[in-house]
Chain A
Amino acid sequence: MELHQLSILQAKDGLKKGKFSAKELVGLVFERIKKIDKKIKAFVTLNEKEALAQAEKADQVKDFEKKPLLGIPIAVKDNFCTCGLRTTASSNILKNYIPVYDATVVEKLKTAGAILVGKTNMDAWAHGSSTETSDFFTTRNPWNLDCLPGGSSGGSAAAVAADMCIGAIGSETAGSIRQPAAWCGTVGLKPTYGRISRYGLIAMGSSLDCPGPITKTVEDAALLLGILAGKDEKDATTLPKSTENYLKKMIPAIEGIKIGIPREYFTSGIQKEVLENVWQAVKLLEKMGGKIREISLLDPKYSVAVYTIIQRSEVSSNLARYDGIRFGEGREKFGQEAKRRIMLGTYTLSAGYYDQYYAKAQKVRTLICQDFDKAFQEVDLIIGPTSPSVALPVGATKDSFMFGELQDILVESSSLAGLPGINICCGFSPENLPIGLQIIGPKFSEQLILQVALSYQQATEWHRRKPNL
């Protein structure tokens, strides 16, 4: 295996044993980027000079105990503020914006010794599920360059799938980590809301936004979660509950675990090959000792409505600061999608409509939370497909104004409820496009989710497949 193909744990091991230096590793990653990112276009901004300097430093420090990510090249979605490094949220409004501070996630990565490779492309302001609505360019799916990588963390997922980094960070409001991870065949973990600090993450839907890792393996996700999670004095919504060393407790678990299969998540609206592969995975888990049980959840179509209203309302307020007075660009630079969202959100918050839309949506949101609470009295975890389809062709979002919401129909409920969930690859379509399944658990059940995902990963070979680039 070539160096850039390594997982974080493999790279850590190699660095520690002195098999290669951080400088070599980082150098190879940039070589890879130069070779193939012309085709994929996962990165908005590269941090090469600084990264190589950091790698040299890392090679001198060699403090692998205190710095669990020492010398590891990590790509970060371009909506996390990076001090001194351009941060655009893939929007024209911020196309020349250089933050004066690091997001907490970035700060934690740096403290852990990680090396920032660059900033990855996304749907502008994270408004979308395709990376096609980036104000700059579309990112391509490494498995088929005529297909979309999903989104909004499409750049991060594509960079991981194409081995242009060792691991990456994405953010999810509803689906933006899990869905591109599914389409690109990577692991994508969306933690419990408030588990990882949002400080420095350019806000989309503030009551939903969650940073999280996109990685090549489940163990890597556990490692990154352990480093990033925890109470942050700068984010009042982070949860005081103590975090664990998730990686240390990564023992496969499936025996006796009660797994719910919601019949509303296996309907005719979902592609045949997706359904088949997810079913096969469920059967495998059952064979391994999992207690599979069919359950019923609220129809996900309600979540689409609730999610749309809450998220648009918050977006309309969060984007108000880009008023043309600062940041260099005027409001006319907002793309069509952002304009649509601002207008709808402004409408749903307006006097006379608030009760009808926003207030009502919040009430239904509570019902959705209660629906999950009820389900988790019966089962430990819930499994279903992540996306209704495999990666769709470039251009699929044209004239489909609700593209994202419909793509993310299977993840919106759990996002609204603030629950953790993971995407892992469970097979490939006849066209060799990855298929993802998601495991959802109650709040703070990341450890169990990761352990069950690990059991599946160990029993299968899907995660070892690499796209032919």
Chain B
Amino acid sequence: MKISQIIIGLEIHIELKTKSKMFCGCSADHFGNKPNTQTCPVCLGLPGALPVPNKTAIEWTVLTGLALNCQIPKFSKFDRKNYFYPDLPKGYQISQYDSPFAISGWLELKNKRKIRLRRVHLEEDTGKLIHGIVDGKKCTLIDFNRSGVPLMEIVTEPDIRSSTEAKEFLEKLQMIVRYLGVSDAEMEKGQMRCEPTVNLKIEDGNKEFYTPLVEIKNINSFRFAQKAIDFEVNRLFEEFKQTRVEKKAGNKTTRGWDEKKGVTVLQRAKEEASDYRYFPEPDIPPIEWTDKDIENFKLKIEKLEPPDKKIERFVEQYQIPISFANTLCQDLNEADLFQAAVKYGRKYGIAPQLIANIMVNKRIQYKDLSPKALIEKINLLSNFTVSEEEISHMAKEVMKEFPAAVEDYKKGKIQSLGFLVGQVQRKTKGKSDPKIVQKILLEKLGN
């Protein structure tokens, strides 16, 4: 008996970083803020309050859909998903059921496999339950700051075949939404949440079996996504060997990833056929796009170079290693800064490779620098023409010439180090990098 195929589908939730929430004017930036300070009648679900959809959130969802090669249906609407949970103040979540903003897309992996996307839709986040003790009594508190934050849901087809592919897919998706500027998608902050559904195709002799589906929750990093899937694949295989239970309607289970123990734990045994009683949200008129609207969205996306295209171009155009290009293109701002700096650097004869090297190795703190300021700093650096070998040589000489200073330093007089650095600089006529001089001196001083 062997596993002949691993079948993985992903459901990903991404919080959009719009200024305001999905259906009201409250700030959507809720992470780490004092509970219940960013609420209003709408996101608290008070009687009579009505939702007004956030236009930016809708546009961003459409743009994300296009960046993921989706089709944008002309007609779209919100629906009510009715269920009871204390973190859901209205007793229903405004979501999208059968007319999402984007459908039928794909994302290509390094191995050229296309992972099909079923849909991209928009909904509102729920509040947060906090279990604690108040006045010595165990209780559950509700923080509604997150209630109504725009949440984009992306659902793939079960096309992913390994945990590595899953991880790559997530990383790529993260890069795309960051490029679009629609989300920071930090998994650790819950801005990007992923729920893989896994099962196996098993071959036994000439017979084929499919194991029951398992949905994994509680994953808050790419690494854990990979680990959890790996664990689940093994567990499912072992379970099948023992039980021979095959996939059938109603035997999907939900398991939670326990990062401390490195295992998944059963959360819900039988996926009870939940009935959310979806119906069109009567408080929000349907959204209808004209051909021109969709054309305009496409133009916006075309102007934006997708990350993998950009990486390819960087390697070709600037002749930099692919690892450098990868790092630079993680963040659109960084990639933009690099390109602008290359342009500016030509005046000083600074090669793109050097700029890339300095940025990737963080030899200069460039986060808040303009391209001009960055180049000026690099120019300064590149005036240090003395090699490390030469510096090492000079350092040896200086230490011989000033044994007292060396002694002082060893006794704990730290200031002597500055004196020695200065002497080396003098010898090289200021053309050595003081940071490197210091590093070499420290080595030689036995530190």
Contacts and interface: CB of A to CB of B under 8 A. Distances in A.
B53 A317 contact: no
Interface in A86-138: 87, 89, 94, 97, 99-101, 103
Contact of B282 (A81, A201, A314): A314
Nearest to B40: A101
A320 B279 contact: no
Contacts, number: 93
A354 B279 CA distance: 9
Interface string B20-49: 000000000000000000000100011111
Contact of A202 (B48, B283, B284): B48
B48 A200 contact: yes
B92 A349 contact: no
Contact of A89 (B47, B82, B277): B47
A319 B52 CA distance: 20
Interface string B71-94: 000000000101010100111100
Contacts of A255: none
B49 A236 contact: no
Given A317-B82, A317-B279, A320-B92, A236 B50 contact: yes
Contact of A349 (B46, B84, B277, B283): B277
Contacts of B275: 350-351
A304 to B, nearest CB: 20
A343 to B, nearest CB: 12
B52 A235 contact: yes
B82 A321 contact: no
A206 B283 contact: yes
A207 interface: yes
B90 A99 contact: no
Nearest to A349: B277
Given A317-B82, A320-B84, A349-B82, A235 B279 contact: no
B250 to A, nearest CB: 14
A351 B86 CA distance: 23
A346 B277 contact: yes
Interface string B143-154: 000000000000
B277 A199 contact: no
A233 B52 contact: yes
Interface residues of B, number: 27
A236 B48 contact: no
B69 to A, nearest CB: 30
Nearest to B275: A351
B51 interface: yes
Given A233-B52, A351-B275, A321 B285 contact: no
Contacts of B45: 321
Contacts of B283: 206, 235-237
A287 interface: no
Contacts of B285: 236-237
A63 B280 CA distance: 45
Contact of A236 (B46, B273, B277, B284): B284
A87 B47 CA distance: 10
B47 A317 contact: no
A1 interface: no
Given A236-B283, A321-B89, A321-B90, A350 B52 contact: no
B284 A99 contact: no
Nearest to A200: B48
Interface string A273-312: 0000000000000000000000000000000000000000
Contacts of A178: none
Given A317-B91, A320-B90, A202 B47 contact: yes
A313 interface: yes
A198 B49 CA distance: 9
Contact of B52 (A97, A200, A236, A316): A236
A201 B91 CA distance: 18
A450 B380 CA distance: 82
A79 B48 CA distance: 8
Contacts of A203: 47-48
A321 B147 CA distance: 14
A330 to B, nearest CB: 13
A198 B47 contact: no
A323 B91 contact: yes
A234 interface: yes
B130 to A, nearest CB: 15
A324 to B, nearest CB: 10
Nearest to B53: A236
B47 A94 contact: yes
A326 B147 CA distance: 16
Contact of A317 (B48, B51, B52, B92): B92
Contacts of A313: 279
Most buried by B among A200, A201, A319, A327: A200
Given A237-B283, A358-B279, A199 B48 contact: yes
B120 to A, nearest CB: 22
Interface in B263-290: 273, 275, 277-279, 282-285
A206 B279 CA distance: 12
Most buried by B among A94, A103, A323: A323
Contacts of A323: 84, 91
A80 B273 CA distance: 38
Interface in A197-246: 198-203, 205-207, 233-237
Nearest to B283: A206
27 contacts: A79-B48, A80-B48, A97-B47, A99-B41, A99-B46, A100-B46, A101-B41, A101-B46, A101-B49, A198-B48, A236-B53, A236-B283, A237-B282, A237-B284, A313-B279, A316-B82, A319-B91, A320-B90, A321-B45, A321-B89, A321-B91, A325-B86, A327-B47, A350-B277, A351-B273, A351-B277, A358-B279
Interface of B: 41, 45-53, 80, 82, 84, 86, 89-92, 273, 275, 277-279, 282-285
Given A101-B49, A320-B82, A321-B45, 9 more contacts: A100-B41, A198-B50, A199-B50, A200-B48, A236-B283, A237-B282, A320-B91, A321-B90, A349-B277
Give the 10 A-B CB pairs with smallest separation, nearest first. A320-B91, A349-B277, A207-B282, A206-B282, A200-B48, A81-B48, A202-B47, A351-B275, A321-B91, A236-B52
